[in-house]
Amino acid sequence: MIPIKKQPEPPHFFDTVQKPGEEFLAHHPEARGSKLRAYWRAIIPDLHQAYRGICAYTCHWIPPDTGWNTIDHFKPKERYPDDAYRWDNYRLVCGTVNGRKGTNEDVLDPFTLQEGWFAMHFPSLQLTSGKHVPKEEMKRVEQTIRILKLNDSTCVRGRRSWLQPYLDGMYGMAYLEEKAPFLASELKRQNLADVNLPLWEDFRKAQFKRRLF
């Protein structure tokens, strides 16, 4: 994960989401979670555009047609209905990871985490805590990785799906920075962006064997 800069709400957000949402809450103050009117669904395309289609937690591009991009209410709407219709509470997240987060409040916020709190190990593509993460935040970094299952086979395959074409020369670093910014930043930080490094030759051989079996 990397810090994400909060983007301004769309001009029509108030009329489309916030105003009808607040009116609904005024008439149904007891509503929580799935009982809330999902006015926010109307601005999923705006959220996707505002954050360039990048999932806040996997830091990969979510294809708008098949990627199942969803809105994560960072402060869960089951507990904070007053924030259910607030743009600042929305994070663009792929459906798989959004489901894993659920109502958990122990996950770090991409809007407030700092550069270098997460690192990526190569060639395993496993996430770890960064060397310079403050001690008081170390536990939350580890909790975030565990809760969102960022090191399971699904997430690792996702990283590999962006790394392999880069190593094969199908696109350059600029494209990787656009579509998989955390992966790109870690390659550059660790001086591993050169596709001709011995490490990547071994990686290619391992991928070839994986395809065979």
Amino acid at 206: A
Residue 207: pLDDT above 70?
A: no
Containing structural domain, residue 151 = 118-212
130's CB contacts (< 8 A; 6+ apart) are 116, 117, 118, 119, 141
pLDDT of 211: 53
Q: Please tell me whether residues 122 and 208 are part of one structural domain.
A: yes
pLDDT tens for each residue of 63-90: 866 556 789 999 999 999 999 999 999 9
DSSP state for residue 81 in the 8-state scheme:
G
Q: Please tell me whether residues 133 and 84 are part of one structural domain.
A: no
Q: How many CA atoms lie within 13 A of 18 on its CB side?
A: 13
Q: How far apart are CA 25 and CA 32, in angstroms?
A: 9
Q: How far apart are CA 182 and CA 208, in angstroms?
A: 25
pLDDT of 70: 86
Residue 37: pLDDT above 90?
A: yes
Amino acid at 167: L
pLDDT tens for each residue of 92-104: 999 899 999 999 9
Instruction: Identify the domain boundary among 69, 101, 133.
Output: 101
Residue 201: pLDDT above 50?
A: yes
Instruction: Identify the domain boundary among 68, 101, 134.
Output: 101
Dihedral sign of CA atoms 187, 137, 3, 80 in order: positive
pLDDT tens for each residue of 116-175: 999 999 999 999 999 888 888 999 999 999 999 999 999 999 999 999 999 999 999 999
Number of folded domains in the chain? 2
Q: How far apart are CA 37 and CA 105, in angstroms?
A: 22
Identify any residues that bridge with 69 across adjacent strands, giving them in sequence order.
Answer: 94
